[in-house]
């Protein structure tokens, strides 16, 4: 156990965990694995920067509520975290956009409504890209502040630089080195899907899975080890080549629409993990998904949540605000878009993990309110009634 002292805080670390204490009470506690691969990575903070911010949280709490952070209820903890962001240098924006709000609110989203709210006035410290949207639908889309009337198309190059480069705020960076924990995460998702299929009385024997946006094949590897037959669609030729090199899986390179033109295959499960937010026309993609499904099939979607508690806390520094994310969905608009595509929602939940070091079990409270950072949705064709 290593003990270090900074300001009024004590840090305790071993090979498995780290903990920040103030006056004998815990401010933050996390596993070393999540600290590195989750907390610091997603917030783009170094080890020392992350510790400095947490110490700032500890100091902010008594200034606002005259009590230590650990004594606060979950909603007051949110207020303290938001306040601490305002003064931490990595999260401070010194300039504002020269474009007026009226000029920014001039585009139309896939919900059919003209933008009437600015969800976030920038991405990180960059004022050139703004998330506007429809307040009624709880839906956002990315615009270029210098050309706000034109909807953005996906011009991201999903090449080696995107997956393995160090380009700021774009891509994954060293994606292959994350293989082990991403495959383990995919195993958890696979077990979750198996449980849902069991609940819905869907027979998975000899059935096929289609993974849209299959990337390096981490999810397909988990499907493969669970005994599923599987196919993958991936826009990036580079990612498809890595998938074949690592796991031996062939991948269709192109869009879902391209695949639909050359294949008549049907699938019991279609997955889209962190894909829907990337495409220019999510309605068209959902239409393709509908056509891929067997009569008793389901689609499983994961996408960042516009209404996440993390966005409420971090604002424009919310880790899911990215240049390649063209759309930001809430539970409300996601269900509506599925309905418009001929799909019906069977199950919707939200999930969070980033701030578990501050909240422990209380983080589940925000997930139950559908304010987790990721939305997890299961749907089927509207013409089908699946019985549990």
3-class SS shares of the chain: helix, strand, coil, % to 5: 40, 25, 35
How many Cβ atoms from other residues are within 10 Å of residue 10's Cβ?
16
Question: Is 218 in contact with 234 (CB distance < 8 Å)?
Answer: no
Which secondary structure element, helix H or strand E, spans residue 311, and what is its range? Answer: helix 309-314
* pLDDT tens for the chain, residues 1 to 388: 444 555 579 999 999 999 999 999 999 999 999 999 999 999 999 999 999 999 999 999 999 999 999 999 999 999 999 999 998 999 998 777 666 777 888 888 999 999 999 999 999 999 999 999 999 999 999 999 888 776 676 666 777 788 877 666 666 767 888 889 899 999 999 999 999 999 999 988 888 999 999 999 999 999 999 999 999 999 999 999 999 999 999 999 999 999 999 999 999 999 999 999 999 999 999 999 999 999 989 999 999 999 999 999 999 999 999 999 999 999 999 999 999 999 999 999 999 999 999 998 788 999 999 999 999 999 999 876 665 5
Rounded CA gap, 231 and 249, in Å? 8
Rounded CA gap, 237 and 258, in Å? 14
**CA 306, chain centre distance (Å):** 10
Residue 358, φ and ψ in degrees, nearest 5? -90, -30
Tokens 């204490």 belong to which residue? 21
Pairing of strands 267-273, 208-212: parallel
Q: Both tokens of residue 318? A: 């919310």
**CA 154, chain centre distance (Å):** 18
Rounded CA gap, 287 and 293, in Å? 10
Q: Both tokens of residue 373? A: 């950072």
Question: Is 306 in contact with 325 (CB distance < 8 Å)?
Answer: no
Closest residue by Cα to residue 238 from 159, 142, 179, 141: 159
Compute CA distances 69 → 58, 314, 366, 382, whole Å.
Answer: 6, 18, 18, 47
Residue 340, φ and ψ in degrees, nearest 5? -65, -20
Task: Go through the domains of the chain in sequence order and give each one's CATH number.
Answer: 2-91 (no CATH), 168-310+324-381 (3.40.50.150)
Q: Both tokens of residue 149? A: 């009337």
Q: Both tokens of residue 167? A: 């380009």
Evaluate the CA torsion angle 275, 346, 217, 305 in order and state its sign: positive
Question: Is 269 in contact with 206 (CB distance < 8 Å)?
Answer: no
Rounded CA gap, 144 and 56, in Å? 34
Compute CA distances 5 → 33, 36, 53, 236, whole Å.
Answer: 22, 20, 14, 47
Q: What are the residues facing 269 on neighbouring strands?
A: 209, 298
Rounded CA gap, 312 and 98, in Å? 24
Question: Is 223 in contact with 231 (CB distance < 8 Å)?
Answer: no
Report the pLDDT value the prediction gives residue 1, as an integer from 0 to 100. Answer: 47
State the number of CA atoms in the 13 A half-sphere of 24 facing the CB.
0
3-state secondary structure 21-39: EECCEEEEEEEHHHHHHHH
pTM score of the predicted model:
0.91
What does the pLDDT look like over 158-201, one tens digit per residue? Answer: 777 888 776 666 667 678 888 898 999 999 999 999 999 999 99
Rounded CA gap, 337 and 301, in Å? 13
């Amino acid at each position: 156990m290593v003990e270090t002292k900074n300001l009024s805080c004590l840090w305790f670390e071993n090979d498995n965990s780290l903990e920040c204490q103030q006056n004998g009470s815990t401010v933050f506690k996390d596993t070393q694995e999540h600290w590195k691969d989750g907390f610091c990575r997603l917030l783009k903070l170094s080890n020392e920067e992350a510790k400095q911010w947490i110490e700032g949280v500890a100091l902010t709490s008594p200034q606002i509520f005259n009590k230590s952070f650990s004594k606060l209820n979950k909603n007051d903890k949110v207020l303290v975290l938001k306040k601490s962001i305002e003064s931490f240098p990595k999260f401070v924006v010194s300039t504002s956009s020269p474009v007026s709000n009226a000029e920014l609110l001039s585009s139309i989203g896939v919900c059919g409504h003209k933008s009437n709210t600015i969800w976030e006035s920038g991405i990180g410290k960059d004022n050139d890209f703004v998330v506007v949207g429809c307040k009624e639908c709880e839906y956002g889309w990315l615009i270029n502040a210098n050309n706000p009337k034109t909807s953005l198309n996906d011009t991201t190059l999903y090449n080696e630089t995107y997956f393995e480069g160090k380009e700021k705020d774009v891509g994954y960076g060293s994606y292959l080195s994350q293989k082990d924990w991403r495959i383990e995460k995919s195993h958890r998702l696979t077990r979750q899907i198996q449980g849902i299929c069991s609940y819905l009385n869907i027979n998975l024997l000899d059935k096929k899975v289609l993974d849209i946006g299959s990337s390096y094949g981490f999810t397909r590897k988990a499907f493969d080890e669970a005994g599923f037959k599987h196919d993958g669609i991936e826009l990036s030729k580079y990612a498809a080549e890595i998938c074949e090199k690592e796991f031996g899986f062939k991948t269709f390179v192109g869009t879902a629409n391209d695949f639909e033109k050359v294949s008549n295959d049907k699938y019991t499960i279609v997955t889209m993990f962190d894909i829907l937010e990337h495409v220019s026309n999510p309605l068209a993609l959902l239409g393709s998904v509908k056509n891929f499904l067997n009569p008793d099939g389901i689609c499983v979607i994961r996408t960042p949540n516009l209404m996440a508690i993390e966005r409420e806390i971090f604002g424009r520094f919310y880790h899911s605000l990215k240049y390649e994310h063209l759309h930001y969905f809430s539970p409300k608009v996601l269900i509506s878009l599925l309905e418009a595509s001929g799909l019906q929602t069977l199950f919707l939940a939200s999930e969070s993990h980033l701030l578990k070091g501050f909240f422990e079990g209380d983080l589940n409270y925000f997930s139950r309110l559908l304010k987790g950072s990721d939305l997890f949705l299961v749907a089927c064709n509207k013409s089908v009634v699946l019985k549990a």
